[in-house]
């Protein structure tokens, strides 16, 4: 039926074009010489469009029937039968000089990621592990939730078991209200397109204004508490530098707000939280590049002290100010959508992945636009798989040095599913259609239905609790 509709629409457009051509021929015969030349030009363009439509019609009639995508394969896990695969198990690996404790890496993925990762940090809090994290590294949509956690950290009241007893009141409930009441992507894009054409603010700047209004107010990096071992994690927000294909990391160090890039240097500057999150979530092509002015040029003192020549010093003098005066940022997921680059040096690595917006499909669109979407899908999945390998299969690099300190890696993903017994234990639904609905929720900054938001949050919480209990909390780690 869907195929017949497409063919009918193509035929209707075909007839409309033919009628337009006939009218142009009449206009050519009746017009004066200048208008006759213009009409011949219009006729040529329409003939090109007609040829393209005819080619698509032939392809549509000759191509095999396409089928609707099937729901992703869902694995029903039990506590004793967890698949020993690299994407969902903790493995004892060696990571060189391990000097830090635990890290939580949260992925991008719009509001879906924010809600899923909200459930993940709730799970860590319930097990008394949130406060003991050394680092929290976030990307894109995950930065929405982590930024809210960071600026409200001082309001959390921890008991003797390191559990924040007011976590729902301070973090969960306000964020769910915002995720279910505010749409900020489409309004920001429309305002940006209208304004930017007249030399005004870009869509990214309007997104930052929306975040100030609805989420973070006028807070800045200086409002985030200083990292303190066992009490306050180091909050790291990741963004991509579109000029150097590297990463900017916004954080606090020694009480000083800063942004770091290993090629350009370290900028000691107090950035607004709304700008930080916008830079982390500046999804192309709508919100990027998101430009931030630098008050002072970034410095590379550590490299120079070590006798190394920084990358920025190799840039010609006339080009260097372009890198030192401002940032040109894109979504952190361009560089890496799971924030695992900060994991190096940590002994215990948690990864909460709500990304993978495209998923598997058994369809293949032969049109140009369809093939471009397919290409983007392949690139995205390839990059994400490489990040997982980077995070989980490090043991392949260190099997010859068993004396090095072990690392525990635990990953939970939004497309995974729970068995009936685990779902009942952790309060997550067990129906396959609900799991598919959560995994394929649109990657947008659009307000979610309250039931959908609650569903995604409970999935994140359940997956986090399961991984913590099986891998870490009970001291049980699966071996090869």
Please give the residue that has the higher pLDDT: either 293 or 20: 293
Q: What are phi and psi of 344, to 5 degrees?
A: -60, 130
pLDDT at 116: 94
pLDDT in tens, 131-141: 999 999 999 99
Does 230 score more than 70 pLDDT?
Answer: yes
Of 134-148, 161-175, 332-346, the least confident: 332-346
393-405 residue pLDDT tens: 543 343 334 445 5
**Separation CA 193–CA 199 (nearest Å):** 10
Q: Tell whether pTM > 0.85.
A: no
Measured over the CA atoms of residue 8, residue 10, residue 11 and residue 12, the dihedral's sign is positive
Distance CA 311, CA 236 (A): 23
CA distance 267 to 290: 17
Half-sphere exposure of 171 (CA within 13 A, CB side): 31
Give the model confidence (pLDDT) of 458-473 as tens digits: 989 999 998 888 876 5
Instruction: Mean pLDDT check: name the lowest of 188-197, 306-315, 375-384.
Output: 375-384
């Amino acid at each position: 039926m869907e195929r017949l509709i497409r063919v009918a629409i193509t035929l209707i457009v075909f007839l409309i074009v033919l009628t337009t051509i006939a009218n142009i021929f009449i206009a050519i015969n009746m017009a004066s010489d200048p208008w006759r030349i213009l009409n011949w030009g219009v006729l040529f363009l329409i003939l090109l469009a007609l040829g393209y439509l005819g080619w698509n019609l032939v392809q549509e009639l000759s191509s095999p029937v396409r089928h609707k995508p099937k729901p992703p394969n869902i694995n029903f896990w039990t506590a004793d039968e967890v698949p020993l695969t690299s994407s969902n198990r903790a493995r004892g690996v060696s990571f060189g000089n391990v000097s830090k404790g635990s890290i939580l890496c949260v992925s991008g993925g719009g509001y879906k990621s924010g809600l899923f990762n909200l459930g993940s940090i709730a799970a860590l809090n319930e097990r008394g592990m949130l406060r003991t994290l050394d680092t929290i590294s976030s990307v894109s949509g995950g930065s929405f939730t982590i930024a809210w956690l960071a600026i409200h950290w001082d309001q959390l009241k921890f008991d003797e078991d390191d559990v924040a007893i007011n976590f729902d009141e301070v973090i969960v409930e306000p964020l769910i209200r915002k995720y279910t009441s505010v749409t900020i992507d489409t309004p920001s894009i429309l305002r940006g397109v209208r304004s930017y054409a007249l030399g005004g603010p870009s869509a990214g700047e309007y997104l930052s204004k929306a975040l100030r209004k609805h989420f973070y107010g006028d807070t800045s990096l200086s409002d985030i508490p200083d990292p303190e071992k066992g009490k306050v994690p180091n909050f790291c927000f990741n963004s991509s530098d579109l000029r150097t294909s590297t990463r900017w990391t916004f954080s606090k160090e020694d009480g000083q707000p800063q942004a770091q890039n290993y090629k350009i240097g370290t900028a000691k500057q107090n950035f607004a939280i709304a700008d930080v999150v916008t830079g982390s979530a500046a999804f192309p092509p709508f919100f990027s590049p998101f430009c931030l002015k630098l008050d002072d040029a970034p410095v590379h003192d550590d490299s120079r002290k070590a006798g190394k020549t920084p990358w920025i010093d190799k840039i010609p003098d006339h080009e260097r100010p372009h890198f030192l005066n401002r940032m040109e940022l894109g979504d952190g997921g361009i560089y890496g959508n799971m924030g695992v680059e900060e994991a190096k040096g940590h002994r215990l690595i948690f990864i909460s992945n709500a990304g993978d917006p495209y998923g598997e499909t058994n369809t293949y669109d032969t049109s140009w636009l369809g093939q471009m979407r397919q290409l983007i899908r392949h690139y995205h999945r390839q990059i994400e798989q490489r990040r997982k390998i980077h995070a989980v299969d490090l043991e392949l690099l260190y099997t010859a040095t068993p004396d090095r300190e072990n690392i525990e890696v635990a990953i939970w993903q939004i497309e995974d599913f729970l068995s009936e017994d685990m779902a009942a234990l952790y309060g997550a639904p067990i129906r396959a259609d609900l799991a598919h609905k959560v995994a394929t929720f649109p990657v947008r900054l659009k307000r979610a239905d309250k039931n959908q938001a609650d569903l995604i949050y409970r999935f994140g919480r359940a997956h986090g609790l399961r991984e913590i209990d099986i891998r870490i909390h009970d001291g049980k780690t699966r071996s090869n």
